[in-house]
């Protein structure tokens, strides 16, 4: 089901919800934003391997294509998770020429969770509309993602055949990195997430970023990042991104589902040819 939120919403209205729901990711006692569906899949038809450690980060899990490597998907996990589960789920897609890269975030203290250390792309300081936002952390994570894009370019993959994406906190980083990209990418995938630094993103988004196709997916029963945040994110994005689509899954919570991954596969093949 394709759903769009009718009308436009101002940044002020948007900001009243986002910090609260981000806080709920931890306030509900969940140690990680790991979708249960991902843990039940394997990529038996493709080669899964674990790379060496990233600088100041965890391990990167890659799924190599069965055929010639002509395109890449870099996908960032959610708070407290690793790249392993997502590499198995995404590796189940029928894509002959797509290399899938699932890095693990650096382990760092998360302020709102009493300083507990866990894999996290950036810090979360507190609840409420006036809570401090970790803008520098989002920027640094975006820079790391751009470095990973360059790594795929070194393998001979053109930027317009490199897709970036993520789940929840990872999706927020992917959105920021893609919208501020200096040159075109193949697409941005945003699962169960929100738009960080939304007050300024409209002014710093590049022409290239505005032209990158965005697939946003969200569960209607998400208790951590409620669907209203996903809808408002979608409405905000569609006000300046030329190709944006929001898919809502009625029975999905803060997780993934087979239908979502099936649609992702179809969307990837339409966005980047010969996968």
Cβ neighbours for 185, distance < 8 A, ≥ 6 positions apart = 149, 159, 160, 162, 163, 164, 178, 208, 212
Which tokens hold the place of 172? 């927020």
Pairwise CA distance, residues 133 & 137, whole Å:
9
Strand 59-64 and strand 47-53: pairing?
antiparallel
Find the DSSP H helices in 155-257. 169-179, 198-204, 207-210, 227-238
Three-class secondary structure of residue 1 per DSSP = coil
Which tokens hold the place of 65? 């294509």
As annotated, the active-site residues are 168, 222, 254
Pairwise CA distance, residues 210 & 238, whole Å:
10
């Amino acid at each position: 089901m394709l759903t769009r939120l009718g009308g436009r919403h101002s940044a002020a209205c948007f900001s009243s919800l986002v910090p609260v729901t981000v806080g709920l990711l931890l306030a509900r006692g969940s140690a990680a934003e790991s979708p249960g569906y991902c843990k039940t899949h394997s990529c038996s038809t493709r080669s899964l391997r674990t790379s060496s450690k990233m600088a100041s980060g965890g391990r990167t899990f890659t799924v190599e294509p069965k055929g010639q490597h002509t395109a890449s998907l870099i996908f960032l996990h959610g708070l407290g998770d690793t790249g392993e589960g997502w590499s198995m789920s995404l590796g189940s897609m029928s894509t002959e020429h797509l290399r899938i890269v699932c890095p693990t975030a650096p382990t760092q203290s998360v302020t709102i969770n009493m300083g507990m250390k866990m894999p996290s792309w950036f810090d979360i300081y507190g609840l409420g509309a006036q809570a401090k936002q970790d803008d520098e952390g989002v920027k640094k994570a975006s820079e790391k993602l751009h470095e990973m894009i360059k790594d795929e370019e070194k393998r001979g993959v053109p930027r317009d055949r490199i897709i970036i994406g993520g789940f929840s906190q990872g999706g927020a980083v992917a959105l920021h990195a893609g919208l501020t990209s200096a040159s075109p990418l193949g697409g941005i995938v945003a699962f169960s997430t929100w738009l960080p630094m939304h007050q300024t993103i409209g002014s710093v988004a590049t022409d290239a970023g505005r032209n990158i196709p965005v697939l946003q997916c969200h569960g209607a029963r998400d208790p951590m990042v409620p669907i209203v945040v996903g809808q408002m994110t979608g409405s905000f994005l569609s006000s300046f991104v030329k190709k944006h689509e929001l898919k809502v899954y009625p029975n999905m919570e803060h997780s993934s589902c087979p239908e979502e991954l099936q649609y992702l596969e179809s969307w990837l093949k339409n966005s980047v040819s010969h996968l």
